[in-house]
Chains A and B, each alone.
Chain A
Amino acid sequence: MLQIIKLTVNGKPCEIAVDRRWSLAEALRQALGLTSVKKGCEVGECGACTVLVDGKAVDSCLYLALWAEGKSVVTVEGLKSGDNDLHPIQKAFIEECAVQCGFCTPGLIMSAVEIVGEGRVYSRDELRKLLSGHLCRCTGYENILNAVERAVREING
């Protein structure tokens, strides 16, 4: 059964019809075409579907679409500024070679946005812990850590 929910997605207010059983990941992909929200396991193990809900990083596969009523959701599609400039975290991911197959990338970037949003600098070990909910099989995390470390330093350092 479909139900209408109102929420803000990537800064724009929207009203979408969702199946009550849908996860937020399904709603973002199917109702809004936000395909950066990747499905890697659909049970909260891999972190590929991570989006921000009111500024907090959540596994959108474990978050019912209905719960997003009235909330603000951000995906990587919403990170570019008005003049199409990339977010510093996106730039850092490119420049630090933190992208390989790219499937875990959007989710990791959203967690990095949350981390950067805390307004402080983190040690590498702290970053390892903060990113440990994301599985990546291509990179060994080395360049992802480098990218997030760099973005944190540039923005909050």
Chain B
Amino acid sequence: MAYPDIIGKSVPRVDARDKVTGAAKYTADLCPANALVARVLHSTVAHGLVRAVDISEAEKVPGVEKIVTCFDVPDIGFPTAGHPWSTEISHQDIGDRRLLNRHVRYIGDDVAAVVAVDEVAAARALRLIRVEYEELPAYTDVSSALAPDALPLHEEVSDSNIVKQHIYEAGDLDAVRSRADLRHFRHTYRTQPAQHCHIESATSFAWMEGGKICVVCSTQIPHIMRRVIGQALGLPWGSIRVIKPYIGGGFGNKQDVLYEPLNAYLSYIMGGACVRLEISREEVFTSTRQRHAEELDYQAWVDDKGRLMGRDVLVLAQNGAYASHGHAICANSSTVLRDIYNDELATRTEAKTVYTNTGTAGAMRGYGIPQACFAAECMMDDIALELGMDPIEIRKLNMMRPGFVDPGTGIACNSYGLADCIEKGRELSRWDEKRARYAKPQSGNIRRGIGMGIFTYKTGVYPISLETASARLVLNEDGTAQLQLGATEIGQGGDTVFCQMAAAASGLDFERIHIVSFQDTDTAPFDTGAYASRQTYVTGKAIKKCGELFRQKLTERAAARFHRPAEELTVAGDRIADRSGATVVTLADLAEDAFYALDGSEHITAEVTSHCTDNTFAFGCCFAEVEVDLALGRVKVLDLINVHDSGTLINPALAAAQVEGGMSMGLGYALSEEMLYNGEGRLLNGTLLDYKLPTALDVPDLKAEFVVTDDPTGPFGNKALGEPPAIPVAPAIRNAVLQATGVAFNELPLEPKRLVAAFSERGLI
């Protein structure tokens, strides 16, 4: 379909100038200088009951205004996931948190909070609080948490430590198991806990004004934040006002409600005084969210041509101490397995989300798919190796095809670029030539290989949850317009593509659309926020509908004023034109007249809700060429190419930038990133120095490519883009290492210690 020229144009980001000059304001930049400072006291035991908290010495510290403990806060359990609320109780998120917890469930849990005049007084007071714990057995991994005699971490949720589990079955797997002519493969793949590492901490400040608690915070989900703060404090949701300025990255961590309810509560009990709660980087690591460590016990039955006949996969997700997103992420891990590959006869997946006494897992870029994709793509190469097949050929034989409909969700493959992505990657990486070259016997300390991996990713959360978005366009007196959304800019470039879509739908010049970047839940239209790679799709539909209504209202006004049939008129950039293209009136003149006409003023606005009942699959692949230094256990990535089908690209340059960032995150996931816990549940590397996310030295030149398709369900042919780039990189690198060394690493990350141990064991070094 042909879209207006502004779609597909790489206009510069609308926020770039403010961000390079320092004019862009983030939460901490807006906090009044005289705000009180809050700090949180965290649990030093992984599992226990707080018997007593002695604050007598801490209270004597000059400058301390208030100390609250887990015995003081309302006994209200609240959920934290950035999910749309469900009006059906059975679908509501698990409310297993308190503002401060008497039953502490991980090292880093929240026991007390100090409000003081400055950081120093708050820190001194924290050190003087004495907590007496009754320690309980700590279950720091899934197997100990699932032991029959393990105490449930949350008795009110479950009498075991299983947050939730489910089984999906299709076909007769027993018949497949009993077939002697099939090859049986079984491997266990493990992924590590990882963290988002947004460079801005999770930070907020709160005060009371006009009877409301106002909370400025770094969040992806302002409207959900408002609801959860209301729930946590037991206050009407409308009595909470959330303001979201620019945010320094989120990647899913800020798709959760973190310390904002506690911050709101502290202001509330301080009589509405402004209180700032900025947690340290170390607290971000210990006490916010992380990507689930998952273990996939993966069985496949394959015929001699490499066709998958059946699979049986058990997915175990380590959820940590609190439910956060509950079972949704682990469930997503299991669902994608039947989407990306098809079994000829039978498929069984079982998924369990398990509470443990470790940091809480939640959403992180890819929402369970990086873990599942790692397992699925490792298995494909493991089978291909055994059968002597090319990894691309075995994938083509088994992967999703056009017309696919997921049997559980009904999500359909509405547009399909997967095969073309693979072909493009094959060509750009010179796969055939390199694969053949590196297949020849290699000797010496340096080995090379090339590998690849594919993925699919849904776009938004329908039909699992509600998908809804609203948008508002407001005409200014000079014929420009404000675009207001509840959807959030979190660094991905949302604001820029929203303006492009508004321009395309309304007919206004791109430059005439001014986005209101900050969300204030008192004035911003409702939207559930930035997650599930949904906004260009779901919010895009609202923008399209809103822009079309705005265009109609402008032409109707012009028709009325100039006595022309409205259907002959349209908006053409900066003016109203008729069918011949002749100017009827400039937008500036039309707007001035609309505001100030003595015989009929009209403030032209358009506001719509778009209830979205579509979803669609995005696709892509990664090709990685590596050089492995056996003795050092070091993997050097020589070439890294991602090819994506995200439908039509609204802004190709920004889309490529998104892909590059995701590739880098995938690279860290593959090679170096891991949150290390000791047996007691203590995080050992919770700093940006010790947690090894890639620096500029660690990343090769990144090649982001696209296959453009036109998705009929997307507002402008577009589909998911934000999260997918991080997904296929780790398995592509793993599979390249497999070709280079012959060693199949089934556990992430591929860090030197693990590699050297495996190479030693195999006699390679």
Stretch from B10-18, B433-441, B625-633 at the A interface: B10-18
Q: A156 at interface (Cβ–Cβ under 8 A)? A: no
Could you say which of A52-60, A65-73, A86-94 contacts chain B?
A86-94
What is the CA–CA distance of A40 and B688 in the complex, to the nearest angstrom? 10
A41-B281, A48-B199 given as contacts; is B696 within 8 A of A144 (CB)? yes
Chain A's nearest CB lies how many Å from the CB of B27?
11
CA distance A97 to B694 in the complex (A): 19
A90-125: which have CB < 8 Å to B?
Answer: 90, 93-95, 97, 99-106, 109, 124
Query: Is B718 in the interface zone, CB < 8 Å from A?
Result: no
CA distance A35 to B248 in the complex (A): 13
The segment out of B67-75, B156-164, B301-309, B489-497 that lies at the interface is B489-497
Q: Which of A102, A103, A129 has the most CB of B within 10 A?
A: A102
Residue of A nearest to B28 (CB): A39
Nearest chain A residue, comparing its CB with the CB of B490: A101
Q: Which residues of A in the span 126-157 have a Cβ within 8 Å of any Cβ on B?
A: 127-129, 131-145
| Interchain CB contact under 8 A, A143 and B660 | yes
How many CB-defined contacts (below 8 Å) exist between A and B? 173
- The answer to whether A140 and B17 touch across the interface, beta carbons within 8 angstroms, is no
A46 touching B688, Cβ below 8 Å = yes
Q: Which residues of B contact A141 (CB under 8 A)?
A: 664, 694-696, 699
Q: Which residues of chain B have C-beta atoms less than 8 A from A99's C-beta?
A: 13, 15-16, 19-20
Interface: B573 (CB within 8 A) = no
A76 located at the interface, meaning its Cβ lies under 8 Å from any Cβ of chain B in the complex: yes
Measured CB to CB, the closest approach of chain A to B251, in angstroms, equals 7
How far, in angstroms, from A109 to B21 measured CA to CA in the complex? 10
A131 to B16 Cα, complex, angstroms: 20
B654 at the interface (CB under 8 A from A): yes
Residue of B nearest to A21 (CB): B120
B586 at interface by CB-CB < 8 Å: no
Q: Tell me, in angstroms, the Cα distance from A48 to B200 when the chains sit together.
A: 9
Interface presence of A15 (CB below 8 A): no
Whether B653 and A97, one on each chain, are in contact in the complex, defined by CB atoms closer than 8 angstroms, is: yes
Is there a chain A Cβ closer than 8 Å to B122's Cβ? Answer: no
Residue of A nearest to B655 (CB): A97
- Distance to closest chain A CB from B186 (angstroms): 35
- Most chain B beta-carbon contacts within 10 A, residue among A93, A128, A129: A128
**A86 touching B281, Cβ below 8 Å:** no
Task: Decide if B248 touches A103 in the complex (CB within 8 Å).
Answer: yes
Tell me the bound Cα distance from A95 to B665 in angstroms. 23
Q: Tell me which residues across on chain A come within 8 A of B198, comparing CB atoms.
A: 101, 103, 137
Closest chain A CB from B596 CB (angstroms): 32
Chain B residue with the shortest CB-CB distance to A37: B22
Most B CB contacts (10 A, CB to CB) among A75, A90, A100 go to A100
**What are the residues of chain B within 8 A of A139 when measuring CB–CB?**
657, 660-661, 664
Q: Is the CB of A137 within 8 A of B13?
A: no
Tell me the minimal C-beta distance from A3 to chain B in angstroms.
16
For residue A95, which residues in chain B have a CB less than 8 angstroms away from its CB? Answer: 12
| A131→B19 CA distance, assembly (Å) | 19
A14 at interface, CB cutoff 8 A: no
B516 at the binding interface (Cβ < 8 Å): no
Binary flags per residue of B238-250, CB closer than 8 Å to A gives 1, else 0: 0000000011110
Beyond A46-B688, A76-B20, A94-B17, whether A135 also contacts B695 by CB under 8 A is yes
B493 and A100 within 8 A (CB):
yes
CA separation between A129 and B24, bound complex, in Å?
A: 28
Which residue of chain A lies nearest to B702 when distances are taken between CB atoms in the complex? A142
Interface residue range, chain B: 35 or more
Chain B hits for A129, CB < 8 A: 696-697
| CB closest chain-B residue, reference A79 | B21
B25 at the interface (CB under 8 A from A): yes
B493 cross-chain contacts in A, Cβ below 8 A: 100
A137-B696 in contact given A77-B21, A86-B20, A102-B24 (Cβ < 8 Å): no
**Residues of B contacting A42 with CB < 8 Å?**
280-281
Q: How far is the CA of A137 from the CA of B249 in the complex (A)?
A: 8
Per a CB cutoff under 8 Å, which of B28, B661, B693, B702 touches A100? B661
Question: Does B687 make an interface contact (CB < 8 A)?
Answer: yes
> Which residues in A have their C-beta under 8 angstroms from that of B248?
38, 40, 101-104
Bound Cα distance from A37 to B667, whole angstroms: 29
Q: How far is the CB of B422 from chain A (nearest CB, A)?
A: 22
State which of B664, B667, B696 has its C-beta within 8 Å of the C-beta of A134: B696
The chain A residue with its CB closest to the CB of B690 is A45
Using A101-B200, A145-B696 as known contacts, say yes or no to A35 and B20 having CB atoms under 8 A apart. Answer: no
A133 to B693, CA, bound (A): 12
Q: A101 contacts B247, CB within 8 Å?
A: yes
Known: A40-B201, A94-B16. A132 touches B697 (CB 8 A): yes
B331 contacts the other chain (CB 8 A): no
Residue of A whose beta carbon sits closest to that of B12: A94
Using CB atoms, name the residue of chain A closest to B20: A90
A94-B12, A140-B661 in contact; A101/B695 too (CB < 8 A)? no
CB distance from B75 to the nearest CB of A (A): 35
| Bound-state Cα–Cα, A75 to B29, Å | 15
Q: Within 8 Å of chain B (Cβ to Cβ): is A36? A: yes
| Alpha-carbon distance A42/B200, docked complex (angstroms) | 11
Report chain A residues within 8 Å CB of B695: 132-135, 141
Q: Which of B21, B25, B654, B664 contacts A140 (CB 8 A)?
A: B664
Are A103 and B657 in contact (CB-based, < 8 A)? no
Which single residue of chain B is at the shortest CB-CB distance from A104?
B199
Of all chain B residues, the one with the shortest Cβ separation from A102 is B19
Q: Is A64 in the interface zone, CB < 8 Å from B?
A: no
Given contacts A41-B687, A101-B249, A132-B695, contact A106 B491 (CB under 8 A): no
Check: A17 CB closer than 8 A to any chain B CB. Answer: no
Q: At the interface, yes or no: B589 with Cβ under 8 Å from chain A?
A: no
**A75 to B22, Cβ gap below 8 A?**
yes
Contact with A along B199-222 (1 / 0, CB 8 A): 111000000000000000000000
Q: Is A4 an interface residue (CB 8 A)?
A: no
B196 lies within 8 A of chain A by Cβ? yes
**A102 to B: closest C-beta gap in Å:** 3
With A and B bound together, what is the CA distance between A106 and B557 in angstroms? Answer: 45
Residues of A within 8 A of B664 (CB): 137, 139-142
Q: Which residues of A contact B (CB under 8 A)?
A: 21, 29-30, 34-36, 38-43, 45-46, 48, 75-77, 79-80, 86, 90, 93-95, 97, 99-106, 109, 124, 127-129, 131-145
| 13 A-B pairs (CB sep. < 8 Å) | A21-B120, A30-B33, A35-B25, A41-B281, A43-B281, A101-B247, A102-B24, A137-B199, A137-B249, A137-B693, A139-B661, A139-B664, A141-B694
Q: 15 more A-B contacts (CB under 8 A) besides A42-B281, A100-B657?
A: A29-B29, A38-B199, A39-B201, A40-B688, A45-B687, A99-B15, A100-B249, A100-B492, A100-B493, A101-B491, A102-B19, A135-B695, A142-B702, A143-B657, A143-B660
Which B residues form the contact surface with A (CB < 8 A)?
A: 10, 12-13, 15-22, 24-26, 28-29, 33, 120, 196-201, 246-249, 251, 280-281, 490-493, 653-654, 656-658, 660-665, 667, 687-689, 693-697, 699, 701-702
Smallest CB-CB A-B distances: 3 pairs = A36-B22, A101-B491, A103-B248
